[in-house]
A = this chain, B = another copy of it.
Amino acid sequence: MSDSRLGAEVKIDFSRIKRDIAELSKIGRRSEVDPGLYRMAFTDADMEGKRWLLNRIEEADLLPVSDGAGNIFGKIIPEGPAAKKPSVLVGSHIDTVPCAGTLDGSLGVVIGLECLRAIRASGVPLARPLELVAFSDEEGRFGAMFGSEAFCGFISPSRLRERDLEGISLSEAMLSQGLDPSAALDAARPRGTVDSYLELHIEQGPVLDSAGEQVGIVENITGLFKWQVRLVGDANHAGTTPMEMRNDAFIGLADFAHEISRILEENGGEHSRATIGTAQILPGSANTVPGMVEFSLDVRDTSEAILEELKNAFRKALSAIARRRKLKFEFDELSSIKPIDADARLVENLEDCAKNLGLRYRRMPSGAAHDAQMLARIAPMGMIFTPSRGGRSHSPEEWTSWEDMEAGARLCLEVLLKRVQDPKDLI
Contact = CB atoms under 8 A, between A and B. Distances in A.
Given A206-B245, A240-B391, A278-B281, 5 more contacts: A206-B241, A206-B242, A243-B274, A277-B286, A277-B287
Given A273-B242, A286-B226, A368-B240, A258 B255 contact: yes
Given A245-B210, A278-B281, A393 B237 contact: yes
A277 B261 contact: no
A224 interface: yes
A206 B274 CA distance: 38
A276 interface: yes
Interface size class of A (residues with CB under 8 A): 35 or more
B394 A237 contact: yes
Nearest to A395: B235
Interface string A182-212: 0000000000000000000001111100100
Nearest to A290: B277
A331 to B, nearest CB: 13
Given A257-B250, A277-B289, A205 B240 contact: yes
A277 B238 contact: yes
A356 to B, nearest CB: 27
A226 B388 CA distance: 41
Instruction: Count this chain's copies in the assembly.
Output: 2
Contacts of A206: 236, 240-242, 245
A242 B205 contact: yes
A36 interface: no
Contacts of A260: 251
Interface in A359-393: 366-369, 388, 391-393
A226 B239 CA distance: 12
B264 A239 contact: no
A160 interface: no
Contacts of A275: 238, 248, 286-289
Interface in A266-289: 272-279, 281, 284-289
A222 interface: yes
Contact of A239 (B238, B278, B285, B368): B368
A296 interface: yes
A253 interface: yes
A254 interface: yes
Interface string A222-236: 101010000000011
A213 interface: no
A300 interface: yes
A384 to B, nearest CB: 15
A67 interface: no
23 contacts: A204-B240, A205-B237, A205-B241, A205-B242, A206-B236, A207-B240, A210-B245, A222-B239, A226-B286, A235-B395, A236-B391, A241-B391, A242-B273, A250-B257, A251-B276, A254-B258, A275-B286, A275-B287, A275-B289, A277-B284, A278-B281, A278-B286, A279-B281
A304 interface: no
Contact of A238 (B281, B298, B388, B395): B298
Contact of A285 (B272, B278, B334, B391): B278
Nearest to A388: B240
A260 B222 CA distance: 36
A394 B236 CA distance: 9
A224 B253 CA distance: 25
Contact of A243 (B254, B273, B277, B284): B273
Interface string A311-346: 000000000000000000000001000000000000
